[in-house]
Amino acid sequence: MNEENIELPKALTAKKDEDFSKWYNQVLVVSDILDKRFNVKGCFVWRNYGYEIMLNIKKIWDKMFKEQGYQEMYFPLLVPLEYASMNDKWWNSFKDQAFYVKGLNEKKHNYILRPTGEPAIYPMFSLWIRSYRDLPLRVYETVSSFRYETKHTRPLIRDREITVWHEIHTAHATMEESKAEIKNHMRMWDKLWKDLCLVPFKVNKPKEECFPGSVGAVEYYSIMPSGKIMENGSCNNLGQAYAKKFNIKFKKPDGTEDYAWMTCTGNGGRLLAAVISVHGDDHGLVLPPKIAPYQVVIVPIFNNKTKSKVMKVVDSLFNDLKSKGIRVFVDDSDESLGSKLYNWEIKGVPVRLEIGNREVEKGEVTLFRRDLREKTSVKIEDLNVEKVLKEIEEELLSRAQKIFKEKIVEAKNIDELKEVLKDKKVAKVHWCGSTECSEKFKEIEDGVELFGTDIEEESEGKCVICGKKTKTIGYVANTY
């Protein structure tokens, strides 16, 4: 039997560094995250394990949003065309990628499936907001968004149905309030990203790339191992533009009327795509403890003679961990030991505890850390799983920080810029800020763009395209 030529169904054969795309596609399947054999382009089925991870991420944002006083609501997916066309700028950029819907007896397509929340939510804001006393209005919902993507779709990265997508929409009486609101969004995202052991790449979005009609946006990006960057949540300052289009007005204390100042932000499955891509390795998923369906899996090892003795220790350990609020599972199934170990490794369980006769006799457990792929023996009385989980988080975060730093490289001219891109990295350049020059970046290679400018740093330099003096620092990379 020639083993090299056989692709085992449950095995991960692709190497992350050699063929990221293939690796990514395999991981999604072998670790039971999703099944893409659903015959609609850009749609997939969440499998229980993957969905549980996603819902654990959702739990983090639900908790955060509620603590911060956002009201959870739900708006219909079907949006009447008349709502959709209220903001012409928005509509122009989405009408070519909308799904049009009609009932069997209707002559026209009177509805679209929502590509974003604005046309569903803002007509209602217009009804609800009459007075400054109704402000601020801060709502969120978790829904699907639909986009008729004509390009290559990729599960969790570019889908036609964007699932488990949340979005916050707010309306305020003053610009200052709306700016503070955006700061709050960013604080929440920073915390969420930290819980996922990820490092966001935050940039100011170039004006022309911003949400149609908005004032500006801070975009969160993930740097993927392929060197491409992926939009991963933007904080949009909508100013009064949307309020004007949707007629969202309020009476001020002095009796005059004004339009509301609005913001929105949102994200979804791309957070999981980043988790998988950044932390995963050639042995499968590596899950941050906060979102792992099981933080600990106990694998008992026994034969008929030692079973009761081993299981006694396993049971008491299980109850102990459970009482501490740790998500723990005992795998006492009939599968062979090796197959269990591979399975939990591919699923990225942070900590595995092996307990057999050997351990029981010595009063120990064998502890396996998924991030390091190392086994150590620990006395049961010294076992501190919470501490280990914390260490795993720190390790994952510091790795992500390291990757982040390595991936950003300064380029002083076009040739250097091309080298950086070739090296699958992100180029840090000076940019004069003009649209003409930003268009030139796109000509370097398809998919390449200047995706943002530094939100803090400024320095003297010359635009790498036109040579004009500038202080603005921009970032150029391949994008998903």
Give strand pairing partners of 299.
Answer: 354
Which residue among 64, 101, 311, 341 contacts RNA (CB under 7 A)?
341
Which residue among 199, 230, 235, 346 contacts RNA (CB under 7 A)?
346
By CB under 7 A, tell whether 336 contacts RNA. Answer: yes
Distances (CA, A) of 287 to 295, 345, 370: 9, 10, 9
Q: Residues 288 to 327: which contact RNA by CB under 7 A?
A: 301-303
Which residue among 338, 387, 436, 460 contacts RNA (CB under 7 A)?
338
Stretch that binds RNA, among 61-69, 111-119, 255-263, 438-446 (CB under 7 A): 438-446
Task: Say what the alpha-carbon torsion angle 48, 51, 57, 63 is, to the nearest 10 degrees.
Answer: -80
User: Which residue type does 77 have?
Assistant: L
8-state DSSP, 472: E
Tokens, residue 418? 């091309």
Residue 106-145 contact track with RNA, rule CB under 7 A, x = bound: ----------------------------------------
Which residue among 93, 153, 174, 434 contacts RNA (CB under 7 A)?
153
Q: How buried is 378 (Cβ within 10 angstroms: 0-12 exposed, 13-18 middle, 19+ buried)?
A: middle
Give strand pairing partners of 219.
Answer: 203, 234
Q: What is the largest CA-CA distance in the chain?
A: 86
Stretch that binds RNA, among 65-73, 216-224, 285-293, 441-449 (CB under 7 A): 441-449
- Helix or strand or coil: residue 203? strand
Q: Which helix (H) or strand (E) holds 117?
A: none
By CB under 7 A, tell whether 445 contacts RNA. Answer: yes
Q: Residues 10 to 69: which contact RNA by CB under 7 A?
A: 10-12, 21-22, 25, 36-37, 39-43
User: Which residue type does 190 have?
Assistant: D
Alpha helix segments (H runs only) across 31-157: 48-67, 81-84, 88-94, 118-128
Query: For strand 296-301 and strand 328-330, is the pairing parallel, antiparallel, or unpaired?
Result: parallel
Which residue among 261, 342, 431, 475 contacts RNA (CB under 7 A)?
342
Which residue among 345, 371, 393, 449 contacts RNA (CB under 7 A)?
345
By CB under 7 A, tell whether 384 contacts RNA. Answer: no
User: For RNA, which is the closer residue by CB, 238 or 349?
Assistant: 349
Rule CB under 7 A: which residues touch RNA? Answer: 1, 6-12, 21-22, 25, 36-37, 39-43, 150-155, 301-303, 334-339, 341-343, 345-346, 354, 356-359, 366, 368, 375, 443-447
